[in-house]
Amino acid sequence: SGARVRRAQNKRLPQYLERGVDVKFSDVAGLGKIRLELEEIVKFFTHGEMYRRRGVRIPGGILLCGPPGVGKTLLAKAVAGEAGVNFFSISASQFVEIYVGVGASRVRALYQEARENAPSVVFIDELDAVGRERGLIKGSGGQERDATLNQLLVCLDGFEGRGNVITIASTNRPDILDPALVRPGRFDRKIFIPKPGLIGRMEILQVHARKKPMAEDVDYMAVASMTDGMVGAELANIVEVAAISMIREGRTEITTDDLLQAAQIEERGMLDKKDRSPETWKQVAINEAAMAVVAVNFPDLRNIEFVTIAPRAGRELGYVRMKMDHIKFKEGMLSRQSLLDHITVQLAPRAADELWFGEDQLSTIWAETADNARSAARMFVLGGLSEKHHGLSNFWVSDRINEIDSEALRIVNVCYERAKEILQKNRKLMDAVVDELVERKSLTKQEFFGLVELHGSVKPMPPSI
Ligand code: ADP
């Protein structure tokens, strides 16, 4: 009957094939050297014969490791797109079924399709869902997963070295994968894709801006520096959201402002995902506001790019981005005064905690910055900048550790008092910055300096050291 014919035809239609994948390396930005490794994988397809003749082993599987949204899927598609081969994909969480045997049969079907339509890339998303070390999950769910994993190993081995079906898998947890998966001939090549840095973020924004009507003078760098910690998926979203506000306001071009506002929306979306108690938000805000308010008095440190208490991956607190001359700082070429100012800024969170919450409430929120202050103070003494210890660096330092430490401590104490004094004199500004931070989570350079202008900022006396 007709139904049977249709079913028979459906059977031949590959289920896992993604049609019309037309991604190129130029669609993936901010890759740097990783691109070379991926270009080589493309060559396994296009120059497979050459590799085989020269006895180069073509890997069966490549593992793309990195956090969500950095472009692992996009890259796998770009490999297929550049090589001009078919792209098959499945999310490993689809393998994990409660019925024994379902996952394994899906793996078999996937690879059968890929082979019938070779050359092809098989992409397995979230490999760790199925590839966790065996025996870690107890019960029938674990059994099913083991059966699926075993099937996957069999399929990987079937293609080893042939170069006409290459498996690319993504994971954020390469460390928990079953050792059998990463044995030679299987996923024996790992490529790490980190979160993009400043330049990477700018390039990603530009790639997504290519298809949009952008104003000519868009400042991508400004947007990139506002989006620290964000990944490609979030940056792509920012461009989309900016386009929507352009349309909504009946304009024809996307401006820097559209992008900056979209960045704030994206950031707030990130914030909503992370809940802190109102007290914690306030405490973090005081911590960051204190650094900014103290820094604004110092010529070398007042170049504040933004102030934020937005939680970021890998950072519990927010931060103040100051453009200090890091090279000078590393090489000890900062002036004596700038170094003292730097120490004072690093102690501001500690001082603010004491002023706002009292001695006995002192938390550890400022532990990291207080550490920075201590090591900068030692550097100050060792560099012979402290008047009492001119030329100290000419002596055997180890003999004088106590002396150095006590002098460093003295400097820390002087700077600490100075930080406290600045905060007390600028209480109005502090309160305003803290309120704004709690309310909006991030302040741009303009917003911060707007508050400084509104409330004024009282400069301290230079310290006597
Ligand atoms: P992952 O697989 O690492 O979770 P995706 O590849 O699914 O991330 O990324 C989602 C989307 O984010 C992509 O389709 C693309 O629009 C955008 N994106 C991510 N990384 C980049 C990048 N490096 N360059 C350009 N766009 C990117």
Structure confidence by residue, pLDDT tens digits, 103-125: 788 889 899 999 999 899 999 99
Query: Does residue 139 register a pLDDT over 60?
Result: no
What is the pLDDT at residue 184? 84
CA angle 390, 395, 400 (to 5 degrees): 90
CA 68 to ligand 1 centroid distance, Å: 9
pLDDT one-digit tens code per residue, 261-310:
899 888 776 665 566 778 888 888 998 999 999 999 887 777 787 788 87
Res 311: pLDDT: 66
Length of the chain, in residues:
465
Q: What is the pLDDT of residue 335?
A: 76
pLDDT at 253: 96
Q: How far is the CA of 44 from the centre of ligand 1 (A)?
A: 24
Q: Which residue lies with its CA nearest to atom 15 of ligand 1?
A: 233
Q: Which ligand 1 atom is the nearest neighbour of the CA of 30?
A: 23
Mean pLDDT on 366-394: 71
Beta carbons of 79 and 121 less than 8 angstroms apart: yes
With a cut of 50, say whether residue 137 has pLDDT above it: no
The span from the CA of 145 to the CA of 178, in Å, is: 12
Annotation says 288 is catalytic: yes
**ipTM of model over 0.90:** yes
Catalytic residue among 288, 354, 407, 436: 288
| Residue 166 main-chain phi, psi, to 5 deg | -120, 130
Q: How far is the CA of 159 from the centre of ligand 1 (A)?
A: 28
Distance 72 CA to ligand 1 centre (A): 7
Residues 6+ away with beta carbon under 8 Å from 127: 63, 92, 169, 170, 171, 177, 181, 187
Report which ligand 1 atom has the smallest distance to the Cα of 29. Answer: 24
Q: What pLDDT score was predicted for residue 284?
A: 87
Average pLDDT over residues 209-236: 93
337 has pLDDT over 60? yes
Q: Which atom of ligand 1 is nearest to the CA of 200?
A: 23
Q: Measured between alpha carbons, how far is 396 from 373 in angstroms, rounded to an integer?
A: 24
Cβ neighbours of residue 450 closer than 8 Å, sequence gap 6 or more: none
pLDDT at 391 over 50: no
Q: Whose CA is nearest to atom 17 of ligand 1?
A: 233
Least confident of 59-73, 76-90, 146-160, 218-232: 146-160
Q: State which of 24, 62, 74, 266 you would mutate to test the pocket of ligand 1, scoring each by most atoms of that ligand within 8 A of its C-beta.
A: 74
Contact 455, 293 (CB under 8 A): no
Phi/psi at 373 (5° precision): -65, -45
Q: Whose CA is nearest to atom 10 of ligand 1?
A: 233
Residues lining ligand 1, CB < 6 A? 28-30, 68-74, 170, 204, 207, 232-233, 236
Question: What's the 184 CA to ligand 1 centre distance in angstroms?
Answer: 29
In this prediction the pTM is 0.61
Rounding to the nearest 10 degrees, give the CA dihedral for residues 365, 374, 429, 421.
120
H or E, element range at 87: strand 86-91
Q: Residue 68 CA: which ligand 1 atom is closest?
A: 4
pLDDT value at residue 231 = 93
Residue located nearest, by CA, to atom 27 of ligand 1: 232
Percentages of the chain per state (helix, strand, coil), in multiples of 5: 60, 10, 30
- Rounded to 5 degrees, what angle do the CA atoms 82, 88, 90 make? 130
From ligand 1's centre to the CA of 319, what distance in Å? 26
pLDDT of 3 above 70: no
